[in-house]
A and B are shown apart, each in its own frame.
Chain A
Amino acid sequence: MTIQFKDETFRGDFTYANSPSNIPRFPFPFPEDEYMYSTNIEPHHAARAGSPFENAFDVDEHYVAEMKDRALVLAEDPGRCQALPHMETAGWDFLELVMVSKARDYPDLFKLTMDGDRWHWINKPLQIDDTFTFGDSSTLPCHPMEYIGRQVQGDHAILDQRDGNLWMDAGIITAQADWSLDFDIGMNFFEWHAPVPLAHELGVFQRALKFLLTLPQGQPSRRLNWTLTVNPRLDTSPENYPKWGPDKLTVTPENIGEKIHLRVELQTFWRLPRSNAILFPIRTYLMAMNEVVTQPKWARRLHRVMRDLRPELVDYKGLSRYHPILVEWLSQFDDGAPTSPGIFPD
């Protein structure tokens, strides 16, 4: 396995793009032609070689560039990485899970050697070679969550479990779809989801919470979530809304294929052993409309989903300004033919 890591940007000149070979492995989020909230959680088993579900923590061609973008965000706004004081054990659990998984799944890229509590970690793509004492934060340059969070694609929240609820008590969040860790830290499961419309009434969060509270160790789960983003920008935080909000006005029928990106979150859930917390990785994948429509099944289906999307969701996901022209643009790829079930391209 060799991955050619791309040198690209998620801001400014936006040079991010998917290689042709990377397109079919995109986690397209719609298993059928219509979309409504559902809990849609399934076991995070290794599935389909080459897909983003093959390994515990997927590493792809964007790894190095995404980690550079994270470093830029954290340099500007250290508040994107915060942990309440009782979350250090969970930080070590997170670090262990990522190091053990990556060293196992990508032995050519990562290497972990353990001699009791003395650990030696080599991350070749990021040129890191460190030795530290597991459980002793003074042997790392920063909190264990930040240390490993700077080396793994996707945002990571860590949820403390107590009183029959989950609490957003730590996270490293630099590529979020419009929610603020600094504001939400310390909230419980229902509180941090409070702004989401419709889903509370449907009982989605009650069911999801009940499921997560009994998530067993060693049996992770996953689900996909999605939105649209103008330009391949990872940092669509509320903090920086004045920077990315105006992008929405730049969409025209002519540039829509390159401007609008399908933004998919591969969310996974892991019971952490020593802290009994839940690790919640939110891995973002971006793909331009022009790239999506290279797969005829995806093009047809995306048109149908967008055309029939409930108005509350159009509004909540922030699509209102360009939703009509997007539906119009996508319609040229929909000949009305039936689509096969499931998310993978034909």
Chain B
Amino acid sequence: MSASDHLIPVVVSNVVEVNPIIKRFEFKHVNGDELPAFSGGAHIVVEMLDDGTKRKNPYSLMSSPFERDQYAISVRRDDTGRGGSKFMHEQVTPGMQMKISAPVNLFALDLRARKHLMIAGGIGITPFIAQMTQADKLGVPFELHYAARSASQAAYMDSLADRFGDHVSCYCDDQGESVDFETLLSSQPLGTHVYVCGPKGMIERVVETATSLGWPAAHVHFEHFLAPPVGEPFEVHLAKAGIDITVGAEQSLLEAVEASGTPINCMCRGGACGQCETVVVACDGEIMHNDHWLDEEQRAAKQRIMPCVSRFRGKRLELDL
């Protein structure tokens, strides 16, 4: 069973250029039906049919969890990536029909929190927009600290400051502004949960600072918005199916397995949820483990792989699929 097997047909209702590198896409159900309710921090998987290649990328929902007539996501253009964001930016226009998965939340608010402390870097702002809407409605205290390279690249900074007032603090690198994590994390009431979404370095600094100040791990939440990396093409043998497949440079192993018609479980498509964990039958070479799921010992053992983000280099890889 796989979340992306049960896709919802939608029509692109609006495309908005937020700034030169970020576009917002809005979707409505093709029949005008309500879309599923969701919780702040949830993402959907968007299926892209790009000239014969089927690609599925996860994007955080930024629309209000209380509005079910449409969904909104924001996509940052990445010209060095696999082409998913480029496709969204160049090919997707209003009126186009697409398919999306039901919402999945791997970055949910801890509803026990006395206060939610949200830290966003760049495009990592998107899950927080829905979360703030949710926290605001539930009447739970929250604060957003939002850092970006420059005001011109900081999507939604002005509108969030207008909407949530004192709850929002903004920081622009080019103005010499930065978040003082030490001070911020030293002054939070007991029962606060901190959430961080942004570049890897930012996540690491928040986690390290919180840990050194004595925050329990259960109060520290982060989401890597991990896109499957590009790489060299490689061959894989699927043992149960009895076939050989080729994974293209800009294709994930998961997408190549799906394209072959071989059944495989998956959900987040970003190396976080564990659903697509697959047994490695034989491996003569090196697995590039790019996921957040397997631990060091499991990686070294070369007996498991997460096909959504991980790749292979070497002579032979055989999977139990």
> Which residues in A have some Cβ–Cβ distance to B below 8 Å?
43, 84-87, 89, 93, 96, 160-163, 210, 213-214, 216-219, 273-276
A-B contact pairs, 9 of them (CB 8 A): A161-B108, A216-B101, A216-B267, A217-B103, A219-B1, A219-B6, A219-B102, A275-B39, A276-B42
* A84, closest chain B residue (CB): B112
- The CA-CA distance from A36 to B25 in the complex, in Å, is 50
Other than A216-B6, A219-B6, give 20 A-B pairs with Cβ distance below 8 A: A84-B112, A89-B111, A161-B108, A216-B2, A216-B3, A216-B267, A217-B104, A218-B36, A218-B102, A219-B1, A219-B3, A219-B102, A273-B37, A273-B38, A273-B39, A274-B37, A274-B38, A274-B65, A275-B39, A276-B39
B270 CB to closest chain A CB (Å) equals: 13
B277 to chain A, nearest CB (A): 9
Q: How far is A89 from B111 in the complex, measured between Cα atoms in Å?
A: 9
Contact size range, B: 20 to 34
Most buried by B among A162, A273, A275, A276: A276
Q: In the complex, what distance in Å separates the CA atom of A87 from the CA atom of B138?
A: 12
The answer to whether the Cβ of B97 comes within 8 Å of any Cβ in the partner chain is no
Does any Cβ of A come within 8 Å of B18's Cβ?
A: no
> Is the beta-carbon distance between B105 and A216 smaller than 8 angstroms?
no
* B218, CB-defined interface residue at 8 Å: yes
In the assembly, what is the distance between CA of A43 and CA of B108, in Å? 25
Contact of B102 among A43, A84, A213, A217 (CB under 8 A): A217
> Quick check: is B70 within 8 A (CB to CB) of the other chain?
no
CA distance A219 to B36 in the complex (A): 12
Hey, which chain B residues are within 8 Å of A218, CB to CB?
6, 36, 102
Contacts of A214 in B (CB 8 A): 267, 273-275
Given the known interface contacts A214-B273, A219-B3, the answer about A162 and B110 at a Cβ–Cβ threshold of 8 Å is: yes
Q: How far does the Cβ of B286 sit from chain A's closest Cβ, in whole Å? A: 27
Interface string of B32-48 (1 = CB under 8 A from A): 00001111001000000
Chain A residue with Cβ nearest B266: A214
Q: A-facing mask of B82-104, CB < 8 A → 1, else 0?
A: 00000000000000000001111
A210 adjacent to B274 (CB under 8 Å)? yes
Q: By the criterion CB–CB under 8 Å, are B138 and A276 in contact?
A: no
Q: A84 — which chain B residues lie within 8 A by C-beta?
A: 112
Nearest B residue to A86 via CB reads: B111
Tell me, in angstroms, the Cα distance from A43 to B5 when the chains sit together. 13
Q: Are A86 and B37 in contact (CB under 8 A)?
A: no
